[in-house]
């Protein structure tokens, strides 16, 4: 495109957007206030009332959408506008569920009041992220009206279940309509503060440790160990996770090593924030055990969250945690979820557009910063799509009297509308230098540690499973997917909480009848779960001697199994026809970081 024509067109679009925001000031604030009044705490995550308000706005503006819902109480929508000319696909993304409210001391009003006072809108979720959803809705509508002057495609996704991260929002939409969710760039308005644009997030791992002993009256410690004391020892030992070394990307190392950038990051994110950027941190968030001071507790359970910096191999962290827990035979560990850290290029085209847009509006030029908080940006960053968030101040997003200034709200509307317009005005030829703009997740590709086979004992494991028969290993892949889908549905319908680490087992079919293998899809379950409609609960036997190794990536495990069998033979062992695969790191994490642990029973030749 001719530069003069481009500059003129951008100027006209800018003028129109600025006029519309000025015209709609009161309407924008009123919508924002109404959205805050819709109670959407997560858990339980019921966003239906808020989504009806969003859908009403879209309907009134003539904007079509469709729902893609994992659960009735957690609706998700996508709306798209195809411009007249070919171009790139830009995605707006926001969530309606918010943190719970009411237990924090100091609320001056009802947390769901949406009160407009002192130049601010007050209430839970104002900053995280109902101001952002409001801003993107209006920006999306403005760009729809300007579609004849734009190129490519613009989409808006408004989702549920972002705060809990259980995948019933953006993650579910990727599972159901992946091609529609794929984009060239993503913008969201999570609370970054107007002086910062977030281009990276740390990851999170959650697991639960259960300790069980015989128990006894407090005066008889000779009869039983205390589950609470054992838990205390494990909690202390879990600090060893913080000693794991990682390779930090250069964009983040620059903040750590440059004194001026280090100081500035602390100004933006709090004293000491720069120091913990490269560190794994461990938090025990919940603990439950005991019934009386006069009883040596027979049971104790605690939940752990491990924050994973960019560059961390989640499998290494979980393996270390499992090793620590295994030091105590009374204890067991259950992995509940892993979301790897995610990162985009802080020097991309959109990063530059956002910075210059904010500066052009008379605000301080925002700095590109990595963040600790997780967001739905990860679903795109994991796929190599640049994704950024720029939103209001969120320092009180989990505290009493959360609020957002009206000035900031209107600024976010202008910023997202103008930045998106600039991105969508350019001809494809004008963006050649950015065509292969990839997420910096490539920096951590293939950085995982090599894992040699290990011989060890394997404890028994209680699982819920369903089985099928396969004629050979070549038929397993086509059987397992439907089995897991069926098992997940049966367990959720029975009210069973499904864990994060599914496993598959393969055993020789002793009955024969034309089949070679019995294939099972399974999830670990607790002692309270019993067999139900569509699944059985069994205890998989432990192995005195099993060889284990790790398969990395999303490709079939065949080659890793073949290497493992050769290794077994060279070591003088005989493989038995009992195989297990544990899918420890899998979706939605980057495919190159997937970790499948293989276990095979062995005997001496």
Average pLDDT score over residue span 154-158: 98
Predicted pLDDT at 443: 45
Does the structure show a pLDDT above 90 at 3?
A: no
Does the structure show a pLDDT above 50 at 446?
A: no
Predicted pLDDT at 522: 96
Task: Give percent of the chain above pLDDT 90.
Answer: 78
* H-run or E-run covering 212: strand 203-212
Does the structure show a pLDDT above 70 at 159?
A: yes
Angle in degrees, 0-180, between the axes of helices 48-60 and 131-145, rounded to the nearest 10: 20
Predicted pLDDT at 441: 44
DSSP string, 59-95: HHTT---EE--SBTTB--EEEEEE-SEEEEEEEEEEE
Task: Give me the phi and psi of 329, to 5 degrees please.
Answer: -60, -15
Predicted pLDDT at 500: 73
Average pLDDT score over residue span 14-23: 98
Confidence of residue 103 (pLDDT cuts 50, 70, 90): confident
Does the structure show a pLDDT above 50 at 444?
A: no
Residue ranges of the chain assigned to CATH 3.20.80.10: 454-604
Cβ pair 319, 570 in contact under 8 A: no
Exposure string over 311-329, b if 16+ CB within 10 A, otherwise e:
bbbbbbbbbbbeebbeebe
Average pLDDT score over residue span 408-421: 98
- Average of per-residue pLDDT values in the chain: 92
Please give the Cα distance from 147 to 157 (Å, whole number): 18
Specify the 3-state DSSP secondary structure of 41.
strand
Does the structure show a pLDDT above 90 at 61?
A: yes
Predicted pLDDT at 436: 44
Average pLDDT score over residue span 267-279: 94
Predicted pLDDT at 435: 47
Domain 3-201+342-432: give its CATH architecture.
3-Layer(aba) Sandwich (3.40)
Q: Is 386 left (phi over 0), alpha (psi -120 to 50) or beta?
A: beta
Does the structure show a pLDDT above 90 at 40?
A: yes
> Strand 536-540 and strand 461-470: pairing?
antiparallel
Predicted pLDDT at 448: 59
- How far is CA 12 from its chain centroid? 39
Average pLDDT score over residue span 147-168: 92
Cβ pair 332, 312 in contact under 8 A: no
Task: Give percent of the chain above pLDDT 70.
Answer: 95
List pLDDT tens digits, range 465-519.
999 998 888 888 889 999 999 999 999 899 998 877 899 999 888 776 667 889 9
Domain 454-604: give its CATH architecture.
Alpha-Beta Barrel (3.20)
Residue ranges of the chain assigned to CATH 3.30.70.360: 203-244+280-339
List pLDDT tens digits, range 363-395.
999 999 999 888 999 999 999 999 999 999 998
Predicted pLDDT at 508: 85
Does the structure show a pLDDT above 80 at 302?
A: yes
Topology classification of domain 203-244+280-339: Alpha-Beta Plaits (3.30.70)
Predicted pLDDT at 279: 95
Q: Is 280 left (phi over 0), alpha (psi -120 to 50) or beta?
A: beta
Average pLDDT score over residue span 115-133: 97
Predicted pLDDT at 588: 86
Name the more confident of 51 and 489. Answer: 51
Does the structure show a pLDDT above 50 at 249?
A: yes
Predicted pLDDT at 428: 63
Please give the Cα distance from 563 to 549 (Å, whole number): 10
Average pLDDT score over residue span 224-248: 96
């Amino acid at each position: 495109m001719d530069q003069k024509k481009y500059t003129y067109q951008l100027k006209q679009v800018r003028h129109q957007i600025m006029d519309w925001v000025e015209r709609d000031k009161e309407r924008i604030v009123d919508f924002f206030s109404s959205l805050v009044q819709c109670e959407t705490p997560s858990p339980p995550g019921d966003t239906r009332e808020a989504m009806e308000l969003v859908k009403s706005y879209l309907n009134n503006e003539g904007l079509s959408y469709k729902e893609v819902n994992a659960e009735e109480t957690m609706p998700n929508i996508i709306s798209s506008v195809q411009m007249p000319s070919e171009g790139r696909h830009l995605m707006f993304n926001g969530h309606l569920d918010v943190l719970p409210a009411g237990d924090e001391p100091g609320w001056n009003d009802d947390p769901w009041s949406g009160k407009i006072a002192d130049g601010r809108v007050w209430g839970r979720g104002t900053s995280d992220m109902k101001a952002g959803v409001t801003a993107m809705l209006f920006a999306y509508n403005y760009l729809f009206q300007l579609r004849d002057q734009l190129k490519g495609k613009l989409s808006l996704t408004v989702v549920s279940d972002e705060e809990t991260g259980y995948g019933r929002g953006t993650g579910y939409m990727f599972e159901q309509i992946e091609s529609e969710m794929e984009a060239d760039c993503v913008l969201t308005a999570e609370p970054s503060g107007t002086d910062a644009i977030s281009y990276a997030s740390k990851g999170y791992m959650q697991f639960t440790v259960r300790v069980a002993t015989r128990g006894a009256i407090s005066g008889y410690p000779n009869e039983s160990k205390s589950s609470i004391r054992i838990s205390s020892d494990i909690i202390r030992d879990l600090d060893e996770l913080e000693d794991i070394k990682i390779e930090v990307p250069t964009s983040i190392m620059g903040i750590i090593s440059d004194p001026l950038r280090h100081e500035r990051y602390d100004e933006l994110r709090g004293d000491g924030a720069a120091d913990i950027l490269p560190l794994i941190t461990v938090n025990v968030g919940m603990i439950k055990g005991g019934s009386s001071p006069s009883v040596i507790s027979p049971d104790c359970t605690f939940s752990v969250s491990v924050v994973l910096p960019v560059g961390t191999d989640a499998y290494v962290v979980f393996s270390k945690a499992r090793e620590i827990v295994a030091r105590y035979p009374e204890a067991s560990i259950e992995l509940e979820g892993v979301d790897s850290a995610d990162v985009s290029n802080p020097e991309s085209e959109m990063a530059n557009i956002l910075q210059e847009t904010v500066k052009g509006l008379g605000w301080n030029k925002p700095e590109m910063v990595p963040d600790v908080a997780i967001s739905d940006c990860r679903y795109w960053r994991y796929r190599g799509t640049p994704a950024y968030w720029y939103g209001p101040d969120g320092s009180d997003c989990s505290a009493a009297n959360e609020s957002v200034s009206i000035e900031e709200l209107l600024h976010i509307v202008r910023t997202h509308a103008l930045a998106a317009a600039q991105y969508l005005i350019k001809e494809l030829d004008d963006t050649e230098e950015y065509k292969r703009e990839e997420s910096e997740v490539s920096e951590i590709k293939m950085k995982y540690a090599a894992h040699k086979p290990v011989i060890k004992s394997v404890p028994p494991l209680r699982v819920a499973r369903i089985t099928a028969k396969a004629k050979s290993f070549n038929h397993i892949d086509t059987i397992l997917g439907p089995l897991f889908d069926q098992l997940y549905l049966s367990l959720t319908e029975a009210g069973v909480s499904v864990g994060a680490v599914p496993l598959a087992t393969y055993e020789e079919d002793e009955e024969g009848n034309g089949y070679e293998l019995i294939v099972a899809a399974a999830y670990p379950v607790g002692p309270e779960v019993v067999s139900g409609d569509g699944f059985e609960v069994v205890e998989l036997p432990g192995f005195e001697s099993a060889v284990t190794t790790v398969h990395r990536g999303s490709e079939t495990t065949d080659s890793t199994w073949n290497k493992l069998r050769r290794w077994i033979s060279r070591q003088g062992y005989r493989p038995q026809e009992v195989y297990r695969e544990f899918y420890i790191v899998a979706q939605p994490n980057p495919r190159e970081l997937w970790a499948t642990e293989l276990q095979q029973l062995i005997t001496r030749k």
